[in-house]
């Protein structure tokens, strides 16, 4: 079973084979964690994102693609596009679950041992934090892997950290 770790801070500073980016469908960068990853990782990441776009077009919500991690200590950045919260709980929950599942699948195919996730969609995309945390934890717990040893949830704000702590202690 994969070990789950919880930490608070900046995901660009985390030691992990892969870090996940809450990207937008353009893959061309944005604010929040996306901006932080591109700033810290350098232009190589954006260049690879451009190549992916030229090859396959935009990244659909719930899907994931991989690039180098540039100047970061990670080997890979996995870019996944979270849903924008528009009060369609069933549909948007499914899409957020897909983000975690598809990122884990991609990490496994890359033979990654550790993967770090930010709290996808809980920033400018306004997904309710508690529901997002429940979905994230459920998807990670349901994912069976022979390859991935550890999943790190990296919370940037105290509210998310408290929610994850509570939910992870419960079960």
Ramachandran class of 27: left when φ > 0, alpha when ψ lies in -120 to 50, beta otherwise: left
Q: Which stretch binds ligand ADP (CB under 6 A): 50-58, 88-96, 105-113, 114-122?
A: 114-122
Q: Which two tokens stand for residue 46?
A: 């954006």
The closest of 138, 164, 130, 144 to 6, measured between CA atoms, is 164
**88 noted as active-site residue:** no
Decide: is 34 part of the binding site for ligand ADP (CB under 6 A): yes
DSSP code of residue 164:
H
3 state SS of 117: strand
Q: Which one of 6, 28, 36, 97 is in contact with ligand ADP (CB under 6 A)? A: 36
Q: Which stretch binds ligand ADP (CB under 6 A): 8-16, 58-66, 88-96, 107-115?
A: 8-16
- Say if residues 63 and 79 touch (Cβ distance below 8 Å): no
Q: Quick one: 107 or 123, whose CB is closer to ligand ADP?
A: 123
Site residues (vs ligand ADP, CB under 6 A): 10-12, 22, 32-34, 36, 82, 118-125, 154, 156-157, 160
As annotated, the active-site residues are 34
């Amino acid at each position: 079973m994969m070990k789950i770790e919880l930490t608070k801070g900046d995901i660009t500073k985390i030691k992990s084979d892969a870090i996940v980016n809450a990207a937008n469908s353009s893959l061309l960068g944005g604010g929040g964690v996306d901006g932080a990853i591109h700033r810290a990782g350098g232009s190589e990441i954006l260049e690879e994102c451009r190549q992916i776009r030229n090859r396959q077009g935009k990244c659909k919500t719930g899907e994931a693609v991989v690039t180098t991690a540039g100047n970061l200590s990670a080997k890979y950045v996995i870019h996944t596009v979270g849903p924008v919260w528009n009060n369609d709980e069933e549909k948007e929950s499914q899409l957020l679950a897909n983000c975690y599942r598809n990122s884990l699948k991609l990490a496994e195919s890359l033979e990654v041992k550790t993967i770090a996730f930010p709290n996808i969609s809980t920033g400018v995309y306004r997904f309710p934090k508690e529901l997002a945390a429940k979905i994230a934890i459920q998807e990670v717990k349901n994912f069976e892997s022979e390859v991935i040893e550890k999943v790190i949830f990296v919370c940037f704000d105290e509210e998310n950290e408290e929610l994850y702590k509570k939910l992870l202690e419960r079960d």
